[in-house]
Amino acid sequence: MDFSPTDEQQALAEAVRGTLRRHGSPAAERGESGAPSGHDDALWQSLVQAGVPALVWAEEDGGIGAGFTDVSAAATELGRARLQVPLAETIVAGSLIASLASDAVRRELLGGLSEGTALPIPALAEPLRAWSPQPTDVVASGSGDAWTLTGTKAPVPYGPDATHLVVTAATDGGTGVFLVTAPEAANAEVVLDGTSATLLAQGEAADSAISEALALGGVVLCAEAVGAMDEALRLTTDYLDTRTQFGRKLASFQTLTHRAADMYAQLEIARSATLYAAMVADERPVDADHVLRARLVVDRAARLVGQEAIQMHGGIGVTAEHPVSHLTARLTAITRTWGDRRSQQAELATRLADHRSVEVLG
């Protein structure tokens, strides 16, 4: 067992850092709000140049054939630079396509994704429904090559920018996974009304592919969160070390420095769980429960780090122009994407009695 990054991973992280540094972080610089920044195609294309969206896909499908430890290293840099791109989204959609689509569709979409010409995005959540990977509101009807979908998926981040949507829908045969080509969405609401779709899988095959895809996307989210927490803690310690009140540096107040130490402790535990989850994601079958546990560890750390980073910055921390507010907004979104603390706890609880203890050394 070894957690140290390879030379290739360090080089990749450095290359991504360089790309992101050249781009800056326009949303924070504009100072409008911490809202999701939307798709920035120029940034995405620069990451395509660096090979990031292609990393995990097989070479025969047009990808690079690297692994999740690699894409995680890139995602951590995205989090640190507080730049939002649909990387985790393409991992989820791409994973469903990789495991369920025909050879031709798989090569076309994963190849296109790797080249920056296709942007497949998952449409999973349903409005006013607690998170579940099982669709209820969007219903599929049809058979063979002729299927239509009806119902609303929302929110679907990057929905308006997608070239393809991978949509879950209820069918008579259980959960179905469908591909919608050239979707039309004006915003994060995807309204399907007899929309033509291609069936990729249904029933058990669909369920297990969804579970794996969400685990893989979850790993990328965890890695992004670690980068965002790294940066939030760095900004906070810098601030404590420079800001003066009552004629003293904030760093002279133990009530603040001890809380910064707790942020560090939670962050390091989240980093360990995330690195481990990335290694888990490079094995098949993926142990999705280990990823769920990592997501819970990251959730706890992200809440503490985000909340305390703002609190210790004082008023400036809740302004739209300060980076720490953007980091905390992103951490809040990450920990509600494709599952949240409640759903993760509930899912793991169903299997709690199946093991005596959680073993990681094996």
Q: Which residues would be at the binding site for another protein (CB under 8 A)? A: 1-6, 9, 69, 233, 237, 240-241, 248-249, 251-254, 257-258, 260-262, 264-265, 268-270, 272-273, 275-276, 278-280, 282-283, 290, 293-294, 296-297, 300, 344-346, 348-349, 352-353, 356-358, 360-362
CA dist., res. 85 & res. 268, Å (int): 25
The whole-angstrom distance between residue 209's C-alpha and the CA centroid of its chain comes to 17
Q: Which two tokens stand for residue 87?
A: 């990387």
Q: Output the smallest distance, CB 329 to another protein, in A.
A: 24
State which amino acid sits at residue 358: V
Q: Output the smallest distance, CB 240 to another protein, in A.
A: 6
Smaller CB separation from another protein, 1 or 42: 1
Smaller CB separation from another protein, 72 or 171: 72
Q: Output the smallest distance, CB 55 to another protein, in A.
A: 15
Q: Output the smallest distance, CB 338 to another protein, in A.
A: 17
Per the CB < 8 A criterion, the answer to whether 193 and 150 are in contact is yes
CA dist., res. 271 & res. 275, Å (int): 6
Q: Output the smallest distance, CB 91 to another protein, in A.
A: 18
Closest CA to 289 of 303, 300, 302, 276: 276
CB atoms near residue 130 (< 10 Å): 10
Q: Output the smallest distance, CB 346 to another protein, in A.
A: 7
Q: Which two tokens stand for residue 282?
A: 């490079």
Q: Output the smallest distance, CB 264 to another protein, in A.
A: 6
CA dist., res. 337 & res. 217, Å (int): 9
Smaller CB separation from another protein, 22 or 356: 356
What phi and psi, each to the nearest 5 degrees, are found at residue 51? Answer: 85, 5
Q: Output the smallest distance, CB 316 to another protein, in A.
A: 19
Smaller CB separation from another protein, 198 or 257: 257
Exposed / middle / buried, residue 88 (Cβ in 10 Å: 0-12, 13-18, 19+): buried
Closest CA to 61 of 84, 94, 30, 87: 94
Closest CA to 93 of 77, 113, 67, 79: 113
Residue with tokens 């098949």: 284
Smaller CB separation from another protein, 109 or 250: 250
Smaller CB separation from another protein, 271 or 322: 271
Q: Output the smallest distance, CB 245 to another protein, in A.
A: 13
Q: Which two tokens stand for residue 142?
A: 């049809």
Smaller CB separation from another protein, 4 or 103: 4
CA dist., res. 150 & res. 140, Å (int): 7
Per the CB < 8 A criterion, the answer to whether 25 and 82 are in contact is yes
Smaller CB separation from another protein, 119 or 226: 226
Smaller CB separation from another protein, 179 or 301: 301
